[in-house]
Every structure is written in structure tokens, then in C-alpha cells.
Structure 1
């Protein structure tokens, strides 16, 4: 038997359950709608971000195109999102403080400029030990040898003396200087073991045959000369002083014995060459000296060369003391070229100190024959010479006063 109140409670329970279920379903539907809405929104944002990443970010306009190395770094930065700290390795490439501009020239930065231009280095970003800053280059390129210049070594006097590539000269003021031997001037090739000397007379032999000619240098200071006696003693030629310019007055004059000497020498059958002592201080004076020589040779035929002789005066001052090496070179060139223009052979006379220390050697020695004045058994003068006054003045048969022998490696009379 049920009570009336129990029947009413049963009737009301079912609607309540349905209501709860319905509310729950409604809430679930709302949650599902919200979830789906959020999911679509996230997808749109992701797609948008992807498009943003795929599109290159605008960069400030630059003059010209990026250099290849800069483009590589820019690409790495965009694709991999590199940080400034990750680029510290670049300091290894610029650590020398040198940057190369578009024109290929290297410009040096000061330490302050480097400090202001470079980002702060992280503790682990320094260059590897043992690698010099200038030794590295951009990836894919060869190291630049000029980035690390090789230190040069200044040779000592002992090294220069032993190398055979230098020769020492004594200058006008008494100072000594080492001169590097030029590769542009031919060296002499004589084998001095082939020299033979008898009674002061030198001869040079090749394959047992004499290939040299003996001469004597003569002037008014030689006194009376018996040219027949010279010829009989084995002398082949004489070099006669034609004239010279006064080292104080600057006047050009004929040697007092020239006419007598050349007449008798040619009568004796000796070959003849002439010398002129120059004290010209300008190219114009050198031309004047050359014309003087040419005019005084008109009556004669000579077979050996015309020699240009310029020297300082021992223990006295002279006109040429004021000249530079360039001046003396120009004067010698002017004289020799003018003589050569008239068909005569020329030689440049001088000692080792003059030829190497007082003129610009490469401008003369490579073009003109040399008559070397260097007493001794083996000359220190390194370059080719065609005539050699190998001894100081001595007593020579047929010459009143002392004179000096000269050997010629060329028979100019046959040329």
C-alpha cells in the first residue's frame, strides 16, 4: 500500500533526470563548438606564420649588390635564425685589422674602429690558437699571401762578402759601400788561370792559343817614346792621350805630345787608340769635348777605341766634385754617343770605385765596352770588360818615364 506522498515523488524524479541530461548535452555542444573554433583559429595563425617565414623580410637598400660572403651570411641568418653571438667566428677573418675594398686595395682600420664596429665576443668565440689573423680567408677562397708579409733580412757585411752577389767600393769621401751586383749587366767570363805574365807583359790563352793584345798607355808625362822598340818588345797597340779639360780652369786643350806620338806610333806599325780626360760639368760641355776629339782625329785613322776618362783629382778639388751620379752618367753618355755616331768604337775608362760607385752603372755598362783600371792578379770588378790596365806605372823598355801596360781581350783593329 503506497502513501499518497510517495506517488508524487516518483512522478517528479524522471523529469529532473531528463533536464540534467539535456543541460549536460548542451554544455558539451558549446564546448565542442568553442574547441573547434579555437582549432581553426590556430590553423589560420600557423599558416599565416608559415607564409611570413616563406616571404623574405625586407632589407634596407644598399648601394650595389651584396658581396658573395655577405649574401651567404644573410641567407644563413634568415634560414637558420642565427644570433649575433653565432657570427663571432668572423672575427678570425678580420682580426688582422685589414679590410679589402671593392678596388682590391687593403685599408687598415685602427683599433678604435675595430672595437666600435665589432660586436661583443662571447667567451667561446675567439679564434683558434695557433692561427694568425691574416692567414684565414673567406670559405672557398685561397689564403692571401700578402696578408702575412714575410719579414725581410738585411744581410750583414760578412754575408755580403761571402755571397758573391755584392762588391765593396770606396767612395770619394772615403766611406765604403756594398753594391749589389745587377743581373741586367753581363759578368765577365774570363778564366784567369789562362793568364801568363812574362817581364810584366800579360797574355791570355785559350786552347793553347794567345787571344789577347798588349798595349801601353802614353801621354806627355811619359817623355820620349821609342815606338819601334815598343813594337819589337811585343806591344801591339798604344792608347795615346789626345787631350783634356783643365780641372780648375775648364779649358780644353790638346796633349802636347799627341801629334808626335800618333805620327811615330803609326809609322812603327802600332795600332792606335786615344783617350780624353773629361772635366765637363754639363752635357753641353761633354758635346764640346766630343767635337774637339773628332776634329783632331780628322788627319788620322785610328783602329782602337776612343776612351772617355773622367776622374777625381787626388788631394785636390776639381770642377766635377759638385756632380751627382746622374750628372756624371749623362755627361759620359753624351760624349760616348756622339763619338760612336761618327763610326768610332768607344770605351768607358775607370776603376772599380768609379764605375760602380760614382756613375749609374746600369745606364752605361750594359751598352759600352769598359777599359778597366784595376791593378791586381784578379779584378774585383764583376762585369764584362774588354780592356784591362792590370798594373801600376812601371819602367817599360822604349819609354823614358814610367808607363803602364794594358791587355785587350778584343782586337779592335779587325772589327
Structure 2
């Protein structure tokens, strides 16, 4: 509003005086700074150091100045070179940290694996334990090609060049009761192994199979080839010879075209008098029996499963005799020579009630 500026002329002298005072103060400061800049850094005048400090403080207050250290203080008095600032070489070069390599798993070399080295065979014991046993290089091996085995109507047959060269058989005892051998013959059976007798595994008593005479007569009449076997529990060579003589006495005038087999085996779920025998004793007893049978002009052979033939007797002392292998399997894995194979304990054949053991012979003993 106009009334607010009526007294403006009375303020002019005061403003002028203020401007002059400020100008004089600024000039004084400039003169002082010029004077101080012309002074040496280190004054020899007593008390000069204190004056310089005072002036420096005044300068810092008026206008702060950043002072850099002398070069000598950085490098210990030596001159700097551009290479001195190349500090990247102070740090080690980064290298890729090697990753730990995985140790290769230790594997058994194929030649050291008994299951694949071709030098061992697996033996399964009656108690369920298993053992890989080294195959003897001194015992004769079989040369059968089991790809030529054919099972037809539960009858195992072996072929060479498209021609059957094997013979199918069964083994029986009183446990099969009455057998219709005519039906057995028609069912495709070529031979029958009949139990002649046994020795009691507890009493040691010699026993003639009560069905033997009837079985051998009717089997022969039906046109079947016949062999016999004896279940031994002899604990000495003398007892083995006694068993062999009993067999010879009861064969009489019967025609026997297949072998007389010696059968000593482990008694399951019970103790037997033969449990005390060593391997050498079992071997000597088996040999005594078969030597006696062979001396009488009969063909003879040794019956046993894989464990018995490998672990319980010494086959190196019995190589003169054929082997009747007992192994229920599609393909036998007994490595040594054998001429007959009992391949099933649960066969069915027309004319026989219940289960019967099934056999295949790779030799035609009727013509041997």
C-alpha cells in the first residue's frame, strides 16, 4: 500500500555506511592473504611459526585448502615411475580350482571272477551254502553241446546232426509200488534202472528190495533195457564187497544190459553210519564195490549229485568208471565226464503212479 513507503528517504545514509564497512573488511582480508602468501614456509623469525599457524588457521577458516603430501612421502624418497602404479601384478592370477576327480570304482577283473573265468564250478551244499570250486585240469571233461538238448513231452532227448543219439529212462524202487511196464514202454521210455537192494543207514542190515524180482522180470518182458542200482551204507571196503556180492547173487540169470550202479549219498534230516567216513574212505569203498562188480563181467557206474562227486569222493581215483549224475536242472553244470543224467525227480510217466525220477543216457549200453 502507498503509506508503507512514506519514510524511504531517511534510510539511505544507513545503507551507504553498511556497504562501505563491508568493502573495507573484505579489502583487509585480501591484503592479509597476499601478505601471508609471500612469506617463506619455514620462517627463521622467532615466533614465526606461531604467526604462520595463526594465519593458516585464518585461511582455512576463510577458504579450506586441500594439501597433498609430497611425492617422497609416498615412495620413501624415490622417484615414481608409471610402472609403479601397475599394481595388478600384486595379486595372483585367478586359476580354475581343480575339481576333485571321482575315484574309479574297483571292479573285479573278469579273469578273477570265479563265476565267469571258466576255471571254477559252483557247488551247492545240502545246508544251502555255496562254494566256487576250481575245476581240475586232470579229470576228463564232458563234450556235450547242451544246445542240442530237446525236451519233448517231458522226455529229454539229445540230437547230433538231426539224429537222436540219446535214450530216455526212469529209475524205480518199491516206493513206486506196482508199475505197468508195458505202458511205460509205450510212453517212450527206453530203459529202467531198478533198485536191487540197500543197506540200512542206521542198522547196517542188508535188505533186498521187495519189488526187485517182480520189477526186473516184467520190465524185461515189456522189452525195456534194464540196469540195477544198490543203495550203499558200507563203512568199510569189506562191507562194500559184501554189498557187491549180494547184488551178483540176486541178479542170477536175469539179463542186465545197462550198468550196475553204486549209490552212496547223504541221508537227509537224520544221521547215518556213513557220516563218520572221510573222503578217502568213501572213495576206497566205492572202488571196492565197483571193482567187484566189474570183475564179474558187468558194466558198472557211480551215482551221485554234483556235491558228492566233487567234494565227498576223489574222482581222480575212479576215472575207470562211468558216472551217473544226479542234478535236477534244465542243463547240468557238472564239468566232468558223465554218461547218464538224472534230470528230474518229479516226472510223470504213464504206467507209474505218482512221481518218478527221469533220466537220459548218452550211451546205448545195450550195444556197448
| TM-score, normalising length: structure 1 | 0.61
Q: Distance in 2 between matches of 1:229 and 1:157?
A: 52
- After TM superposition, give the deviation of residue 265 of structure 1 in Å: 0.3
Deviating beyond 6 angstroms after TM superposition, the runs of 4 or more aligned structure 1 residues are 155-158
User: Quick check: 1:221–1:401 contact (8 Å CA) kept in 2?
Assistant: no
What CA RMSD, in Å, does the superposition of the two structures yield over aligned residues?
1.8
Summarize the Cα distance change of 1:389–1:168 in structure 2 as closer, same or farther, 3 Å threshold: same
- After TM superposition, give the deviation of residue 236 of structure 1 in Å: 0.7
- Residue equivalent to 1:88: none
- Residue equivalent to 1:206: 160
1:236 and 2:163 are equivalent in the alignment: no
What count of residue pairs does the alignment treat as equivalent?
261
Alignment of 1:59-78 (within 5 A): none
- After TM superposition, give the deviation of residue 286 of structure 1 in Å: 0.3
Q: Distance in 2 between matches of 1:173 and 1:321?
A: 15
User: Quick check: 1:242–1:258 contact (8 Å CA) kept in 2?
Assistant: yes
User: Quick check: 1:170–1:357 contact (8 Å CA) kept in 2?
Assistant: no
Summarize the Cα distance change of 1:285–1:156 in structure 2 as closer, same or farther, 3 Å threshold: farther
Q: What SS class does the counterpart of residue 205 from structure 1 fall into? A: strand
1:191 and 2:145 are equivalent in the alignment: yes
- After TM superposition, give the deviation of residue 175 of structure 1 in Å: 4.2
Q: Distance in 1 between matches of 2:171 and 2:127?
A: 28
- Residue equivalent to 2:58: none
Any stretches of 5+ residues in structure 1 without a counterpart? 1-154
In the TM superposition, what whole-angstrom CA distance separates every residue of 1:12-60 from its partner, at most 9, and x where no partner exists?
xxxxxxxxxxxxxxxxxxxxxxxxxxxxxxxxxxxxxxxxxxxxxxxxx
Alignment of 1:13-412 (within 5 A): 159-171=113-125, 175-364=129-318, 366-412=319-365
Summarize the Cα distance change of 1:324–1:174 in structure 2 as closer, same or farther, 3 Å threshold: farther
Q: Which moved more, 1:280-289 or 1:191-200?
A: 191-200
Q: What SS class does the counterpart of residue 162 from structure 1 fall into? A: coil
Q: Distance in 2 between matches of 1:281 and 1:236?
A: 35
In the TM superposition, what whole-angstrom CA distance separates every residue of 1:333-360 from its partner, at most 9, and x where no partner exists?
0001110011111111011011001111
Summarize the Cα distance change of 1:396–1:157 in structure 2 as closer, same or farther, 3 Å threshold: farther
User: Quick check: 1:231–1:270 contact (8 Å CA) kept in 2?
Assistant: yes
Larger Rg: 2
